[in-house]
Amino acid sequence: MSAKKQSPWLALVSILIYFFLYTPIIVLIVFSFNASRTNVVFEGVVNQGPCGPFYWYCELFRNRSVMDATRNTLIIAFTSTIVSTIIGTMAALALQRYDFFGKKVSETTLYFPIVTPEIVMGIGILVFFSAVFGWINTALALAPSQRLTMGLGTVIVSHIAFSIPFVTLVVRARLHGFDDRLEEAAMDLGADEFTTFRKITLPLIAPGVLAGAMLAFTLSLDDFIITFFTTGPGATTLPIYVYGLLRRIVTPELNALSTIWVFVVLIVVAISQWFQRRE
């Protein structure tokens, strides 16, 4: 069989696409080692203090605001990932295996958070929390210091809400190829439903569950718009913190933070892709 003819124009377009995709990231990494505090001109590699060329990275870890924002971001990401993975897996099992009233409606509405623009979701969640908190504060006549307000909890609930559909779809895709006869054989040998799920079902769908969890974790780490609408005092995340810095000036310290964030997201995405390939 003759080899397929390759188009030089297609190769050129591919090169240009990758160039425009990755050149900004490369520039970002390079300027995180800049000797100047501004990003106007690259004045060479910085070499200050015991950290040497990694001076701005050391300064970043000495910044209390960055550490607080990192802690909030990780708390939100891990909590929302765990909860959304559990709920999403249960939803996938229910939609794939059972027929119940309103199943078609549930399958349709599952796509709404995915296709709805984030700014619309953010405004909707903000209005919802404002109305609920206002009603509770008024009904219970809470003092100003005791009133329910936006904060870490509202951000976590919001991230859980938009992560569940993604987890559900990934896990359900894994369930499409599941052989129900394996569960039937386990039950015929005396295993109850919980034991069958723990020793048969869960290990077989684990790659899909973990891939969905990684996807939810990445979405939570990267989210800005919904977090912006639902955050409150003491709940600043890294995307919100970076946005605040960008409104003033872009420094090598900010480039160092963005570089670390890029590599963290790449690692999470790589792990997620590895689990998906195992399917």
Q: pLDDT (tens digit, 9 = 90+) per residue, 25-43?
A: 888 888 888 877 766 667 7
3 falls in which pLDDT band (50, 70, 90)?
A: low
- pTM beyond 0.85: the answer is no
CA–CA gap between residue 150 and residue 236 (Å, rounded): 11
220 falls in which pLDDT band (50, 70, 90)?
A: very high
| Tally of domains in the chain | 1
Percent of the chain with pLDDT over 90: 19
* Residue 48, domain member (yes or no): no
Query: In the prediction, which pLDDT does 257 show?
Result: 84
Higher pLDDT among residues 202 and 5, named by residue: 202
* Residue 113, domain member (yes or no): yes
1 falls in which pLDDT band (50, 70, 90)?
A: very low
The CATH number given to whatever domain includes residue 219 is 1.10.3720.10
* Residue 29, domain member (yes or no): no
* Residue 7, domain member (yes or no): no
* Residue 52, domain member (yes or no): no
* Residue 51, domain member (yes or no): no
> Under a CB-based contact definition with an 8 Å cutoff, are residues 212 and 89 in contact?
yes
CA 249 distance to own-chain centroid:
27
CA–CA gap between residue 25 and residue 249 (Å, rounded): 18
Higher pLDDT among residues 219 and 45, named by residue: 219
Longest dimension (CA), the chain: 81
Residue closest to 238 by CA, chosen among 111, 107, 77, 87: 77
What secondary structure, in 3-state letters, does the chain show? CCCCCCCHHHHHHHHHHHHHHHHHHHHHHHHCCECCCCCCCCCCECCECCCECCHHHHHHHHCHHHHHHHHHHHHHHHHHHHHHHHHHHHHHHHHHHCCCCCHHHHHHHCCHHHHCCHHHHHHHHHHHHHHHHHHHHHHCCCCHHHCCCCCHHHHHHHHHHHHHHHHHHHHHHHHCCCCHHHHHHHHHCCCCHHHHHHHHHHHHHHHHHHHHHHHHHHHHHHCCHHHHHHCCCCCCCHHHHHHHHHCCCCCHHHHHHHHHHHHHHHHHHHHHHHHHHCC
* Residue 18, domain member (yes or no): no
Q: Give me the domain span that covers residue 177.
A: 65-277
Residue 68 pLDDT more than 60? Answer: yes
Q: What is the mean pLDDT of residues 54-80?
A: 88
* Residue 217, domain member (yes or no): yes
Q: Residue 139: how many CB atoms within 10 A of its CB?
A: 8
Residue 161 pLDDT more than 80? Answer: yes
> Under a CB-based contact definition with an 8 Å cutoff, are residues 29 and 261 in contact?
no
